[in-house]
Structures are given as C-alpha cells and as structure tokens.
Structure 1
C-alpha cells in the first residue's frame, strides 16, 4: 500500500525518511516536548535513526500510520502525528502527536488532526479513535475537545486521562 500523504493549507503529512534524523532527534530529545510523555529522551543520533527505522518498518507492516508533520513551503519537520495500537479487528486505534515548542500555539496540530481523523474513519474504517494524555496537558485536552473527543470514564490511571471519538453513524 502506498503511504497516505496528506495535505493541508500549511502542512504536508508525509512518511518519515532518513533525512529527518536531525529533526527527529531534536523533537525526541527536547525536554519540553517530553514533559507529559512517559518515554526517555533520545540521547544520540543513532537512537533517532533507529526510531525512524522502527516507525517505517511498522508502517510497512500496516501496524500503524505515522506521519512526519512538515511545513509545506520548506519541508521542515515540526512534529509527528500517528494512528497506532490498532485493536485486533482494526476497528479502533490510538492517536498520538507531538510538536516542537517553536511551532506550538500556531494551530498546526489542529490543522493536522482534521485530515488524520478523516483518514482514520474513512480510509481505515475505524469506529473509534482514543487519545491518552496527561491530566495536566491542558493544550492537548483542549485540542481533543475541539474535535469532539469525549472523556472516557472507563479509563483508570492516576496521571493520564483518555478521550474517545466514535464514528458518527448515519442512517
């Protein structure tokens, strides 16, 4: 299957390449970006390269769709967004995203999220997309609420909360 490149007014959501290694390292070694994530910071370029290889292998195996979020005019990688952790029957997926601090607060993730949700519900035929975020990540919570994600009361965790969006069923 050909990788699903998506376009918005200011962004290209494309497959990650080895040319993105510096940007992926900058993103995944940034303490500010990792504030609300439970993952270690990358410590060197080899880890960034291994991450890109792991992501692209998962894409090739249809384990997930993982987009490099780039500025349309310059192809600068400013973040990532993905649909991953599919349910066994591929009717549900988790949403993940991260954005460089210098690109936050400019509406880029909101712009990227719309075509990703459309792709998930229409092309992947998902019935539900979940997003887990830290309880104190107000920007992420507000973004999810803008897209009508609802708090999932069944999710039990002390530091994180889950928001869920279900496909609208039309008769």
Structure 2
C-alpha cells in the first residue's frame, strides 16, 4: 500500500468525509435498524454509548492506518446519510474489502453507486490496490446488483469464514 493519509472525496452530488462524534445518532440508526441490517451480521449500536464506541474504534482504525471509513453526505447538507469503507487490507496492502450502508430514505437514488465508483477509484489510483473484495449476503439483491453494475464479479467457491450466508465479489484493477 502507498503512503497512508485520509482523504476526503467529492463526487457530483456527495461529500465523503471523516466520521465525527456528532454523527452518533445516524451510526446508531445504521447499525441497529432492522431494514438496514436485514442482510448484515454485525454488532448493533442501539445506544449512544455503543455508537460512540464504534466511532472511536473507527477513528483509531484510521489513525493506525488499518482502514478508510467515510461518512456520506449530500453536498450542501452536513447530515450523514450512510457510510462506505475500505478495510481488511491484505498483509501486502494490495487487496482490501469494501463495505457500505445507506439510510433507506436515500436508497435507489444512485447514491451508493456514486460512492462505490469514487471509493474503488481511490483504492486503485491512490492506494495502488490490485483487488477490492465485497462480501454480501447471497439474498441481498440490491447489493449484488450494485456490485455487478460496478464491474465486480462473483468469486466462485470463496467463503466468508465469519458468515456462511455471504458470497464474495471482487473487482480487479
């Protein structure tokens, strides 16, 4: 991996910026809402305390150069609407995993498509990644369509050791 420094990303409609403690309510919602988490197995953050613990964990992960995590906001509105991250980097820094979530009221508007395009571009151009993987639940049709629309292909036979319901997609540079 190349020199690590957090970078904000700007797209046509969005700003991808650093998570702040003031975003705790949206973090709590995104990590606890049953619709958002229908296809995701992860610890919830239903309390302010748990949301702030998650934000602290993310901040430490960025500081220790273990991950990139962006909050998604629409230009002209600082309210967090979702997130996207690159994490789980391989030892040689050539492979990373992408993860994302989005508030239901912003889904089906091309927002995650715009975010994913910019983050994969960042990963390949700025971080010099060779491969970006995405783990998604086999029944999560919107996520599968998003990945396929962005050139990700199903990795036949690859398993997620933490979640047997997940399938793995990959995008090569």
Smaller-chain TM-score bracket:
over 0.9
Matched residues in 2 for 1:108 and 1:36: separation?
A: 19
**Correspondence 1:127 to 2:133:** no
- TM-fit CA distance, 1:27: 1.4
Contact 1:36 1:137 in 2 (8 A): yes
Contact 1:149 1:165 in 2 (8 A): yes
Counterpart of 1:43? 46
Matched residues in 2 for 1:165 and 1:2: separation?
A: 23
How many pairs were matched up?
167
Q: TM-score scaled by structure 2? A: 0.93
Counterpart of 2:165? 159
**Correspondence 1:118 to 2:118:** no
RMSD: 1.1
> In 2 relative to 1, CA 2–129 (structure 1 residues): closer, same or farther, beyond 3 Å?
closer
Matched residues in 1 for 2:159 and 2:85: separation?
A: 23
- TM-fit CA distance, 1:76: 1.2
SS at match of 1:69: strand
Counterpart of 2:8? 5
Stretches of structure 2 lacking an aligned partner (at least 5 in a row): none
Stretches of structure 1 lacking an aligned partner (at least 5 in a row): none
SS at match of 1:95: strand
Matches within 5 A, 1:10-159: 10-156=13-159, 158-159=164-165
SS at match of 1:126: coil
> In 2 relative to 1, CA 91–2 (structure 1 residues): closer, same or farther, beyond 3 Å?
closer
Q: TM-score scaled by structure 1? A: 0.94
Matched residues in 1 for 2:30 and 2:147: separation?
A: 21
